């Protein structure tokens, strides 16, 4: 099957999201669709999937024009898509989720016995270790993605679109996914990978198409292309401003101190975490996802009750037991999963930017200078679209991340806690966030930076600690750090 | 192009878009209630016209409509205010009883005091009674995440029983010949009425509260913080907002309004505390709040329509010997029409 999108143009108000894009794809091919945040990658694919209607242009399958005006029509035409935000029902089991979307599922499901696994073929092939009886709420993000992929393959999709599939995966899961994508392609299906990671392109794709500001600027074989080549195509004439390293702090006196902190709930826990961060120091925390990073970050920021220990800022215990009482003036906090943890999704960008500064407004709200400030923040942090009245939930993952940074990485701070602050950001935006984050260290704040990117941690952090199953396994200075030791700690080998 | 898509340009203007749900709901409601009357064997549109006359036909009908509107309006506010924090409360009738009970208690205790002092004191007591009855589920919700819908529902029964205990027991008027009620309250505490009718100040309370709270919720910093807390509690708390305190506060405000409704009925309509005075006002108010999408201003006309149906059904009962249940059926038809049309239109908008 050959799919051809020809002359696709799509506008959202003033923004030209796709500008007469023509792109084709044949059976057995893996195409990486590369571009910066907001370049129009997702829009183009949502048009192919029937989610949006193009303003002009059309889609041809095997040379014949087809009308794809809904996801249902797309599926009928053999096009399936796995979204960044999964469409799974957490309260149901893996099997139930799969059967809900299965075209031939029986009306009455066998609840026990051999018959109940007759429908699991695809999933078994993709994820032999996944227990079909597990509740989706309890499985990992990588497994959820495999479940979504199995749902799409069950529909006999000839073209599979994956929207930034590796942005939520651990390095190991990413490797497994690459293998799987190759396997799917070898079966004669076509795969489109929406991505902004060069690694995805280099390791996995046959061809790379690059979008820049809605226009297709490259469509070529990816063979022999290096990350630098790709970066050059993606950002066009512009150059990426890399963040600079921050000099080590002059004094090692602790500004921010964590003493024996424990906390937890049904979903995970941390125990006896202790470390000190000097003013001006960047303290990196590495670890595979799900090691308790989110709980630790919440405890440091004071938004979660501690079951033991204390958090000390400038010699004063700011959090100890009981309910958290966040210090919103002195502590900047970027939590993981900003949609759930850092924004009011159904309220507009302006409200979300001033969420923590409401007390500075008069009782009868007057926005006044806050409107100009909103416009400036959206501009400075390159949040797209720059519409202060748009709801936060309507932003793409990367832009949401920038929005939260715009709130948390402005104004004076004594401590900044950043949990995966560059998740979903392209290379230019990542460096821009790093510059702002590390600038706080330069100004003397204590910076705690939780990341999964060992290369970046080893380049920018002054010291790196590794968290495993809620405990700090070891801490090294940048000079002493080597990938192998850190990697072993991340897998639980004792220091 | 869908085969049956309406494509009339005048339907796309902003005014039309705003009025479309209302107009369509009204048409559907008229259609189904006409069908209902026809099924009963009456001439449908003639009877519908009688409903309109029964509610608005003359000064008496109109003021009776206003009499019914007042408690519905207040009870609808009592349900819509906690909804600002996403709380789903059905406890207006229990709060109504507690307000009536405490207000009456104050009057019985201080019967000799001048009305100028006693009347405000009575209303304050009623508001406190309703608030207290609503703060219980509010506290349970804030402290232990107890589902507020269930706890408010159950407290309705307790509230009604407290009033029964009072009027069968210590407050029973021995002169009432076995009729369970307190003695008739002094004229000094009767709420002012207007238009030389039974329409009373309770209606004005409802209007002022609806407009005042609407402004507070939409224009004030506190209103915005409520919206943030409703949208994402965790984020609101990490921005330093006190969710638990606000749950209790907003429940107290809702309860106070329902309590006020209870005392207004006792003072202006019944003249004494007796069982059964809450009728269906609590649930009717809840339905009105939902039909209005918890919008405090839209609650006003919808309460008036519900009041009109209640008033008109009294007339229909009298002159056409239709059963009393006619009011409930018409209310249900209205509720279904509004919700079905709203759901249908919003689904089309998304498509």
A15 has a pLDDT exceeding 70 = yes
Scanning the structure block, which residue is given the tokens 């149901």?
A92
Q: Please say whether the beta carbons of B263 and B174 come within 8 A.
A: no
CA–CA separation, A379 and A393 (whole Å): 19
Count CA atoms closer than 13 A to A459's CA, side-chain side.
12
Closest CA to A146 of A117, A181, A198: A181
| Residue segments in chain B with a per-residue pLDDT below the cut of 70 | 1-12, 349-351
CA–CA separation, A186 and A165 (whole Å): 19
Whether residues A344 and B220 touch (CB distance < 8 A) is answered with no
For residue B3, what pLDDT is reported?
44
Q: Which residues of B touch A347 (CB under 8 A)?
A: 227-228, 231
For residue A111, what pLDDT is reported?
66
How far lies B179's CA from each of A352, B165, B260, B280, in Å? 59, 13, 25, 22
If you measure CA to CA, which chain B residue comes closest to A355?
A: B239
Span A158-171, pLDDT tens digits: 999 998 888 767 67
Element (H, E) at A4: strand A3-12
Which two structure tokens, joined as six digits, stand for B115?
Answer: 């009305």
Whether residues A326 and B236 touch (CB distance < 8 A) is answered with no
Q: Which residues of A touch B227 (CB under 8 A)?
A: 344, 347, 351
Whether residues B232 and A345 touch (CB distance < 8 A) is answered with yes
Whether residues A301 and B240 touch (CB distance < 8 A) is answered with no
CA–CA separation, B163 and A241 (whole Å): 74
For residue A96, what pLDDT is reported?
85
Average the pLDDT over A442-470 and give the result.
92
Q: Please say whether the beta carbons of B230 and B243 come within 8 A.
A: no
| Nearest-by-Cβ selection for B234 from A328, A341, A347 | A341
CA–CA separation, B260 and B263 (whole Å): 5
Span A60-106, pLDDT tens digits: 999 899 999 998 899 889 999 998 777 888 888 888 888 888 877 77
For residue B6, what pLDDT is reported?
55
Domains of chain A (ranges, CATH numbers): 3-235 (3.40.50.300), 254-490 (3.40.50.300)
For residue B160, what pLDDT is reported?
96
Span A272-283, pLDDT tens digits: 999 999 999 999
How far lies A386's CA from each of A340, A350, A380, in Å? 21, 10, 10
Domain boundaries, chain B: 75-299
The per-residue pLDDT of chain A, averaged, comes to 87
Count CA atoms closer than 13 A to A82's CA, side-chain side.
28
Whether residues B239 and A355 touch (CB distance < 8 A) is answered with yes
């Amino acid at each position: 099957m050959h799919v051809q999108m020809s002359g696709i143009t799509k506008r959202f108000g003033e923004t030209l999201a796709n500008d007469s894009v023509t792109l084709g794809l044949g059976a057995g091919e893996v195409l990486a669709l590369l571009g910066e945040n907001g370049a129009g990658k997702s829009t183009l694919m949502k048009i192919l999937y029937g989610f949006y209607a193009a303003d002009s242009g059309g889609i041809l399958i095997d040379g014949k024009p087809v009308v794809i005006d809904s996801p249902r029509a797309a599926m009928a035409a053999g096009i399936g898509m796995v979204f960044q935000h999964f469409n799974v029902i957490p309260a149901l089991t893996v099997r139930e989720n799969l059967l809900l979307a299965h075209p031939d599922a029986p009306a009455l499901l066998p609840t026990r016995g051999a018959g109940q696994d007759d429908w699991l073929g695809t999933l078994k092939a993709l994820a032999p270790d996944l227990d079909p009886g597990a509740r989706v709420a309890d499985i990992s993000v990588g497994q959820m993605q495999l479940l979504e992929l199995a749902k799409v393959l069950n529909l006999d999709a000839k073209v599979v679109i994956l929207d930034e599939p590796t942005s939520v995966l651990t390095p190991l899961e990413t490797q497994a996914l690459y293998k799987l994508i190759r396997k799917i392609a070898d079966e004669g299906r076509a795969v489109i990978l929406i991505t902004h990671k060069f690694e995805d392109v280099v390791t996995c794709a046959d061809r790379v198409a690059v979008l820049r500001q809605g226009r297709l600027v490259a469509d070529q074989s990816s063979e022999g292309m290096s990350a630098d080549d790709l970066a050059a195509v993606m950002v066009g004439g512009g150059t990426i401003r890399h963040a600079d390293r921050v000099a080590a702090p002059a004094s090692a006196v602790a500004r921010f101190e964590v003493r024996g902190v424990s906390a937890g709930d049904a979903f995970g826990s941390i125990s006896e975490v202790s470390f000190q961060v000097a003013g001006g120091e960047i303290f990196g925390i590495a670890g595979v996802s799900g090691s308790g990073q989110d709980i630790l970050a919440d405890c440091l920021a004071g938004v979660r009750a501690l079951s033991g220990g204390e958090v000390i800022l400038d010699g004063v215990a700011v959090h100890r037991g009981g309910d958290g009482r966040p210090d919103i003036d002195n502590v900047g906090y970027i939590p993981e999963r900003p949609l759930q943890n850092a924004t009011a999704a159904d309220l507009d960008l302006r409200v979300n930017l001033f969420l923590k500064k409401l007390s500075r407004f008069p009782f009868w709200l007057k926005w006044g200078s806050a409107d100009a400030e909103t416009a400036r923040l959206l501009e400075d942090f390159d949040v797209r679209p720059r519409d202060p009245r748009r709801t936060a939930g309507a932003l793409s993952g990367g832009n949401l991340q920038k929005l939260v940074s715009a709130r948390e990485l402005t104004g004076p701070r004594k401590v900044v806690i950043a949990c995966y602050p560059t998740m979903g950001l392209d290379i230019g935006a990542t460096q821009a966030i790093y510059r702002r984050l590390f600038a706080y260290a330069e100004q003397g704040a204590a910076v705690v930076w939780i990341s999964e990117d060992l290369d970046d941690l080893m380049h920018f952090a002054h010291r790196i600690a590794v968290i495993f199953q809620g405990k700090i396994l070891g801490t090294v200075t940048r000079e002493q750090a080597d990938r192998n030791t850190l990697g072993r700690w991340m897998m639980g080998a004792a220091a | 192009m869908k085969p049956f898509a309406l494509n009339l340009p005048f339907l796309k203007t902003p005014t039309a878009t705003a009025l479309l749900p209302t107009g369509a709901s009204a048409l559907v409601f008229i259609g189904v209630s006409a069908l209902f009357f026809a099924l009963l064997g009456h001439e449908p549109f003639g009877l519908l016209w009688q409903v309109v006359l029964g509610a608005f036909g003359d000064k008496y009908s109109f003021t009776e409509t206003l009499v019914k509107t007042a408690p519905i309006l207040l009870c609808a506010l009592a349900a819509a205010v906690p909804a600002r924090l996403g709380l789903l409360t059905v406890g207006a009738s229990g709060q109504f009883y507690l307000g009536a009970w405490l207000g009456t208690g104050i009057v019985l205790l201080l019967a000799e005091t001048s009305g100028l002092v006693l009347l405000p004191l009575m209303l304050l007591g009623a508001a406190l009674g309703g608030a207290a009855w609503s703060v219980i589920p509010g506290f349970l919700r804030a402290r232990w995440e107890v589902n507020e819908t269930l706890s408010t529902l159950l407290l309705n029964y307790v509230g009604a029983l407290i009033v029964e205990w009072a009027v069968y027991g210590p407050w029973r008027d021995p002169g009432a010949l076995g009729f369970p009620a307190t003695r008739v309250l002094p004229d000094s505490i009767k709420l002012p009425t207007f238009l030389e009718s039974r329409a009373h100040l309770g209606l004005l309370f409802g209007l002022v509260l609806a407009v005042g709270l609407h402004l507070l919720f939409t224009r004030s910093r506190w209103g915005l913080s409520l919206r943030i807390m409703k949208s994402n509690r965790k984020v609101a708390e990490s921005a330093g907002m006190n969710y638990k305190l606000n749950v209790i506060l907003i429940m107290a405000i809702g309860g106070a309004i329902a309590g006020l409704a209870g005392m207004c009925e006792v003072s202006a309509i019944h003249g004494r505390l007796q069982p059964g005075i809450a009728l269906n006002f609590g649930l009717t108010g809840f339905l009105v709040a939902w039909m209005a999408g918890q919008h405090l201003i839209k609650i006003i006309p919808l309460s008036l329509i519900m009041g009109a149906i209640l008033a008109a059904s009294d007339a229909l009962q009298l002159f056409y010997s239709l059963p009393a249940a006619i009011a409930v059926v018409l209310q249900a038809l209205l509720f279904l029409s509004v919700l079905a049309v709203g759901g249908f239109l919003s689904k089309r908008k998304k498509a």
